[in-house]
Structure 1
């Protein structure tokens, strides 16, 4: 994939670039938004930019991709690329935007590293960038073609359901009255709104429940301020969007989906979530219940309290429809009989050989559960995850 000459140059300069990648990405975004202010208003998540998490995610992905190229020259990190491509497709990223990113990213590299960026170094890292960019462009083109929906579409809110004090479910029907295509359990849609200052911001929300022919359903947690910026879009949806309101949705995307391999009906599954990470798991359970899944399913969830456990009724009801399901709930407060107190701990949870696991929730939760599963003999290749927001797994 990477030419021998470029591989040698990247290998030699990778430590210096990796050490400076945080400053590089900070300057990259500053230059990008100075030249293209509309991108921050209408495409990039302003909350993630303020918190610095998008810079961390970009830095981690670039470093991980370059490291993979020099350590495994005959392979491509398709799992990482696929995850990024799904997010880009949901946002409507175009091939032309990769040219814009290249311009400002390499200006930032030259600005930070100075004279160390010789023509040979610039050419080698340019090769790294375009290998990654062209791979993403190709994957995104395929995703657009497979989506079955023409770009973004207007959807009317037909029902608003309060789930908890901070989580609301919105049921939506297409304004044009056209058909609603199916989705794979675990996928999300991008939701676009116009905020009071005129900005058009986009956020991703998991589709909950089983696929239906006339409506789609999302459950949104209101993000309060504090250690992270207050959620602009989630608060807007909670405060201003009611029955009759119109939202603009993308087609469904996302790679945290149940494996449809021929042995899918015999593979033991473990679905672990915490907080609002429950949303894709409820969709998976709905799919398993409707498809007649008969293999063991272990359901794991952690939350602050039963009152904070969004979609708890659906969580329990879909699991109850499965012939071989075990449900384990942990609550930090007010744990009722039959549940556990504290944080999720798999020490006493049976994990069948050959289990395939799906995780969604805060990053510390997923790291802890993954470590416990690996200790119990689950193959790392059989542990799949979804991060809400920028994927910081590679950045730490």
Structure 2
């Protein structure tokens, strides 16, 4: 436990961290990779180039300072990141490395403001936070290994089938090379994927949502090809999977993880709202409900550029035609002429609150959404304006966690979820 004096010191740094947080984390990552280039095998360099990881860590440091006297308030976010760490194989011995370089980056950026007392207090605080992560992750590693069909680390899987779902999304059906049982998972969870790409100096680790229900003899991940755009580098792993990984090839996979999961205890209607490849974890939840013959009212709302970019559209449409309790709704930003002729969408443009209120009977439902960050901010804002209780709002970030409103999310240094 931190002493009252050290808690007071940590809290006194909140305004400084708010102003200089990203400068500190930018310097931290420079130091980290200079001193420990082996960690380039863990981090997604696209997120580094875009500044997303630096921003996420700055938010983490700020949140830790703001809640240092009651870390229970950020426990849910600690668990979220712990799941990511386990899927990436983060080890206890890596935490002191992060701590050392973070404190030195603080000292360099803040200069005289980072007194010996401040650094000492932050050193103790980091140790407490690191111990919390290490303890939670040890339990998760044990659970992953000891569950039926489970395993530790990475396991080899064969690409049994490769299916094009849209112009930019392809599904990979993965079966274990050893032909043994595979672990069940909670709908909404993801897999860690490790690939060695020719010409790349470092191992590439990514996390991809499982896009089908549990209990089958395969896992399915559905990956979007990320083309290079202004201020958006190409997806190294996603493009490699699309262009070079074929049926019969072998990739290494870590056990299912993640806390964005379907609430199976609630009796409320369920509303899924997806944008683009954000459909993948929601497909797992949707298929799970359909296959369990759930009697809940289910609304599946998907937004895409147009029909050419709409994955799983026939599957969802067919299921909704088979069951009275399922309704499928589609929003296309720029529908094609074929989309118009086939009347294959319900709204043109973007999803907004007025439209949601016109197609949903009420705000009394469990809402699950996922997609690009601007999309998620719009959906979150609409649901809050509609007075949906926070406990009924569930969402997943692809990549380092961002923020959907003025509140700061907690995201430690060793984190990476890239779809």
TM-score w.r.t. the length of structure 1 is 0.94
1:272 maps onto 2:279 in alignment: no
Gaps of at least 5 residues in structure 1 are none
Alignment partner, residue 302 of structure 1: 303
1:379 maps onto 2:383 in alignment: no
Alignment partner, residue 354 of structure 1: 364
Alignment partner, residue 344 of structure 1: 351
Alignment partner, residue 414 of structure 2: none
Distance 2:115 2:153 in 1: 42
SS in 1 for 2:13: helix
Distance 2:309 2:58 in 1: 34
2:17·2:61 contact (CA, 8 Å) conserved in 1?
A: no
Q: Structure 1 stretch 271-280 or stretch 298-307: which is displaced more?
A: 298-307
Alignment partner, residue 30 of structure 2: 30
CA displacement, residues 106-163 of structure 1 (integer Å, 9 cap, x when unaligned) = 1101111122222221122223322322221122112112223222101011111111
Alignment partner, residue 172 of structure 1: 174
SS in 1 for 2:67: helix
2:188·2:282 contact (CA, 8 Å) conserved in 1?
A: yes
Distance 1:97 1:74 in 2: 22
Alignment partner, residue 246 of structure 1: 250
Distance 2:264 2:96 in 1: 36
Distance 1:95 1:217 in 2: 30
Give the 3 Å change call, closer, same or farther, for CA 346–17 of structure 1 in structure 2: closer
Distance 1:140 1:350 in 2: 40
Of 100, 105, 116, which aligns to 2:97?
100
Alignment partner, residue 210 of structure 2: 207
CA displacement, residues 360-393 of structure 1 (integer Å, 9 cap, x when unaligned) = 0011111111121122221012211101111122
Alignment of 1:83-162 (within 5 A): 83-147=80-144, 148-162=150-164
Distance 2:208 2:48 in 1: 19
> Cα offset for 1:345?
1.8
Distance 2:409 2:26 in 1: 14
Distance 1:364 1:277 in 2: 12
Alignment partner, residue 45 of structure 2: 46
Distance 1:378 1:304 in 2: 27
Distance 1:330 1:260 in 2: 27
Alignment partner, residue 190 of structure 2: 188
1:54·1:390 contact (CA, 8 Å) conserved in 2?
A: yes
Gaps of at least 5 residues in structure 2 are 145-149, 411-419
Give the 3 Å change call, closer, same or farther, for CA 31–209 of structure 1 in structure 2: same
1:179·1:213 contact (CA, 8 Å) conserved in 2?
A: no
Give the 3 Å change call, closer, same or farther, for CA 13–32 of structure 1 in structure 2: same
> Cα offset for 1:323?
4.0
Q: Structure 1 stretch 270-279 or stretch 2-11: which is displaced more?
A: 2-11
> Cα offset for 1:332?
1.1
Q: Structure 1 stretch 134-143 or stretch 234-243: which is displaced more?
A: 134-143
How many matched pairs? 390
Give the 3 Å change call, closer, same or farther, for CA 180–320 of structure 1 in structure 2: farther
1:286·1:318 contact (CA, 8 Å) conserved in 2?
A: no
Report 1 or 2 for greater relative contact order, CA contacts < 8 Å, sequence distance ≥ 6.
2
Of 182, 207, 224, which aligns to 1:221?
224
Distance 1:155 1:74 in 2: 39
CA displacement, residues 259-298 of structure 1 (integer Å, 9 cap, x when unaligned) = 133xx3x222111110000001111010001122212222
1:270·1:299 contact (CA, 8 Å) conserved in 2?
A: yes
TM-score w.r.t. the length of structure 2 is 0.89
Alignment partner, residue 326 of structure 1: 327
Distance 1:58 1:320 in 2: 45
Alignment partner, residue 230 of structure 1: 234
Distance 1:86 1:92 in 2: 10
